[in-house]
Amino acid sequence: MGITTKDLAQMCGVSRTTVNRALSGTGRISPDTKERILRVAREYDYQPDLLARGLVKGRTYYIGVVVLDVKNRYFAQMLSTIGAEANKQGYSINIVLHNNDRQMEQNQLMKLSAYHMDGIILSSVNEGEEYRRFLSTLGMPIVSVDNKIADGLPFVSIDQKKAMKEETALVLKKGYRKVVFVCPPMDAGVKENVYVHKERLKGFQEALQEFPEAEAEYLLDWSYLERAELLAESGEKAAFVCTSDGFALDIMKRLESRGKRPPLDYGITGFDNIDTLDYVKPRLSTVSNSVDTVAATAVGLLMNMIEQQADEQTEEQHEICRILPYEIVPGETV
Amino acid sequence: MGITTKDLAQMCGVSRTTVNRALSGTGRISPDTKERILRVAREYDYQPDLLARGLVKGRTYYIGVVVLDVKNRYFAQMLSTIGAEANKQGYSINIVLHNNDRQMEQNQLMKLSAYHMDGIILSSVNEGEEYRRFLSTLGMPIVSVDNKIADGLPFVSIDQKKAMKEETALVLKKGYRKVVFVCPPMDAGVKENVYVHKERLKGFQEALQEFPEAEAEYLLDWSYLERAELLAESGEKAAFVCTSDGFALDIMKRLESRGKRPPLDYGITGFDNIDTLDYVKPRLSTVSNSVDTVAATAVGLLMNMIEQQADEQTEEQHEICRILPYEIVPGETV
DNA sequence: ATGAAAGCGCTAACAG
DNA sequence: CTGTTAGCGCTTTCAT
């Protein structure tokens, strides 16, 4: 659309190389011509064509971010931080949503690769060795978050298992005899990567082992609301341990309509500590996923990988797996 | 990273042109060679370089979306719909956040332009004729949403003024003598585009004129929480008419801690109908911004503009301004 | 039916 | 200090 270096060269009566030197500030060039070129460039509002530059330099200073969905509070928060961190380092981000569609995720990644993104931050629905190979064919640095894809792939997350274990133990210590693990996404375990959920399940079960007198129940599909209602009305006071704040909120809402409120009639805990909780009474007991830290760490890690790949000199792989601390967030629902 | 058409040409013992014909399916080519080339391409997993293609074709099949912030429920919803609609039409979206920073918005737009986005959907913090000229220098179709920038620029939104007028009238009909207009962003009116807020203010005032006995008050800066508290404790029962659900929720939370609840102690209404409201009691009375419709309409409009620009034949500008219907969402807080 | 050649706009190696 | 040349990977006339 705009003016090109060729035009500038013509206008200033110099070669394109000289124009380039003036604009980039590299190489020897006389102050006069430089000054003159820059003035003309400014006057005609020259803007470099980033596609062309990307093509020749092999770098776009863009990082692609592939996540489930932007309506999800958790991802929204993450994207916000990733964007801010990336900007600080002179990168822009290209956000892409896969909506839990495995094929869509692959397509989007291929497209990002074809657009020469310098790196990728990925919360994947895919997993396994084969997928890892696919990712490596893309030829760009990739950091995965939350959902582990395969060993050896850079990965950032909190310690999901430990977090859930601690949270569950907290519930059990309160004296609940019956604990219900709520995790509808597990339903799709065959079709999707449910690594985080499986980890949380493990944590739940580990905690349970230390309380042999407790009885566990599992709601692992999307009928969880109906089943939670039945459980709540069965008389026995139960605690719902949910793998996401959203599920907890939905259960609370449902049971509220039946006149039941925590912690009197039942106990309930969430996961993630999304900011919606600020407005809901009673305050949901949950655990913070430290999303900002995860996001910032992922960006930092990715930047290292990008720089390293650019330098190409050092072959040493830094630590590629970062497990970050979580935080128990006490509430009033248990 | 991967294989190029040059490589393919060499492998198949043909020219790059022929390879191109096979891959693009255009032009005459013998079925045999075509078949052969495609097989090799698949075998080596050829992926076209989209930067290069974009450079030569002048089209990237990307649209840029520039909004305030992805943490905002309203924008999250909008982005989700825009992404889905764009995908349907074979486009990807590139989401960029400006965080209410006018300069940032300009920079991001220039960058998007330099990357040859085919079009832009923009919720701007800038406004005025000068900015419109800036936008036109970018040389790509732009549709603005929510915040009107200047006359003549394609624009999609609900009728903010009418919506607020109707909502306010509803409140006044309930018998409130004192109504408080809450709109902290107005504070930045000099620095930011607050078109939507101004429209809503107008609607509020128009409604007020029909109820001469009512008294109005205005909270137009970020001290609104403290001042709302003072008002609530002044004895007189007031109704807070907020320009965003978030402000309403924050006021409710604040006053709740003072033992005051709507609609008994005060009235309150929001705007946007964000999904957080599903979890908050009592149900906030609000008005739906029809975000999905706005988003879909904006994408449709932009697509038309892109096609039109590509064809270049037709000079007729279609209707460029679309004002969509809103919806009053009754609640329990007024 | 196929190929040669030019060009998108930018950068970089090598001369002078 | 400046210019020439070649090339990134793809598309697109224009010949053959």
Mapped onto helix, strand or coil, the DSSP state of residue A119 is strand
Tell me what pLDDT residue B316 has. Answer: 59
Give whichever of A249-263, B25-39, B178-192 has the largest mean pLDDT.
Answer: A249-263
How confident is residue A235, by pLDDT bands cut at 50, 70 and 90?
confident
8-state DSSP, B294: H
Average confidence (pLDDT) over B268-290: 95
Q: Using alpha carbons, list the distances in angstroms from residue B67 to B74, B300, B306.
A: 10, 18, 20
Average confidence (pLDDT) over A262-270: 96
* Calpha distance A333→B12 (Å, rounded): 68
Tell me what pLDDT residue A191 has. Answer: 82
| Tokens describing residue A194 | 């449910």
- In chain B the first and final C-alpha atoms are separated, in Å, by 62
pLDDT at A233 over 70: yes
Higher-pLDDT residue of A284 and A309 is A284
Adjacent-strand bridge partners of A215: A178
Q: B108 and chain A: CB distance < 8 Å anywhere?
A: yes
Tell me what pLDDT residue B324 has. Answer: 96
Peptide bond into A263 cis (omega under 30): yes
pLDDT at B105 over 60: yes
Q: From A58, which residue of chain B is nearest by alpha-carbon distance? A: B1
Peptide bond into B212 cis (omega under 30): no
Residue B259, exposed/middle/buried by CB under 10 A (0-12, 13-18, 19+)?
exposed
Q: From B46, which residue of chain A is nearest by alpha-carbon distance? A: A114
Nearest to A69 among B49, B80, B113 (CB): B80
Residues ≥6 apart with Cβ < 8 Å to A34: A21, A22
Tell me what pLDDT residue B315 has. Answer: 56
Inter-chain residue contact B71 with A80, CB threshold 8 Å: yes
For the stretch B216-272, pLDDT in tens is 999 999 999 999 999 999 888 999 999 999 999 999 999 999 999 999 999 999 999
* Calpha distance B223→B287 (Å, rounded): 24
Residues 295-334 of A with CB under 7 A from strand D: none
pLDDT at B314 over 70: no
pLDDT at A192 over 90: no
Residue A284 near residue A249 (C-beta atoms within 8 A): yes
- On the question of a common fold for A57-157+291-323 and A160-288, the answer reads yes
Crossing angle of helices B5-12 and B31-43, in 10° steps, is 120
Mapped onto helix, strand or coil, the DSSP state of residue A315 is coil
Average confidence (pLDDT) over B92-119: 94
Tell me what pLDDT residue A315 has. Answer: 55
Kindly state which CATH superfamily the domain B57-157+291-323 is placed in: Response regulator (3.40.50.2300)
Which nucleotide, over all strands, has the C1' atom closest to the CA of A58? Answer: D8
* Calpha distance A229→A227 (Å, rounded): 5
| Tokens describing residue B287 | 């008005």
For the stretch A88-112, pLDDT in tens is 999 999 999 998 999 999 999 999 9
How confident is residue B92, by pLDDT bands cut at 50, 70 and 90?
very high
Which among A229, A131, A238, A224 is positioned nearest to A178, based on CA atoms?
Answer: A238
For the stretch A200-221, pLDDT in tens is 999 999 999 999 999 999 999 9
Inter-chain residue contact A51 with B108, CB threshold 8 Å: no
Give strand ranges (E) for B82-233.
92-97, 119-122, 142-145, 155-158, 178-182, 215-219
Q: What are phi and psi of A274, to 5 degrees?
A: -70, 155
Adjacent-strand bridge partners of B143: B121
Q: Using alpha carbons, list the distances in angstroms from residue B216 to A154, B169, B178, B239.
A: 58, 13, 6, 10
Mapped onto helix, strand or coil, the DSSP state of residue B253 is helix
Residue B268 near residue B245 (C-beta atoms within 8 A): no
For the stretch A35-77, pLDDT in tens is 999 999 999 999 999 999 999 999 999 999 999 999 988 999 9
Which among A268, A99, A125 is positioned nearest to A190, based on CA atoms?
Answer: A125
Least confident of A18-27, A269-278, B291-300: A18-27
Count of positions (residues) in chain B: 334
| Tokens describing residue B226 | 């403290």
How confident is residue A312, by pLDDT bands cut at 50, 70 and 90?
low
Topology of the domain covering B160-288? Rossmann fold (3.40.50)
Residue A291 near residue A78 (C-beta atoms within 8 A): yes
Tell me what pLDDT residue B312 has. Answer: 61
Interface test with chain A among B4, B49, B50, B261, by most A beta carbons within 10 Å: B50
For the stretch A168-179, pLDDT in tens is 999 999 999 999
Tell me what pLDDT residue A25 has. Answer: 87
* Calpha distance B16→B41 (Å, rounded): 13
Average confidence (pLDDT) over A158-169: 97
- Domain definitions of chain A by residue range: 5-48, 57-157+291-323, 160-288
For the stretch B179-214, pLDDT in tens is 999 999 998 877 888 999 999 999 999 999 999 999
* Residues of B in Cβ contact (< 8 Å) with A92: 96, 108, 111
Residue lying closest to nucleotide C13, CA to C1': A17
Tell me what pLDDT residue B318 has. Answer: 62
DSSP letters for A245-296: HHHHHHHHHHHHTTT--TTTT-EEE-SB--GGGGGSSSPPBEEE--HHHHHH
* Torsion sign, CA atoms A291, A295, A300, A301: positive
Residue B254 near residue B281 (C-beta atoms within 8 A): no
Largest Cα span, chain A: 89
Average confidence (pLDDT) over A252-277: 95
CA dihedral A146, A148, A152, A153 (to 10 degrees): -60
Residue A194, exposed/middle/buried by CB under 10 A (0-12, 13-18, 19+)?
buried
Look-up of token digits 């149900």? B283
pLDDT at A286 over 90: yes
* Calpha distance B174→B167 (Å, rounded): 11
* Calpha distance A280→B279 (Å, rounded): 7
Distance A13 CA to D12 C1' (A): 30
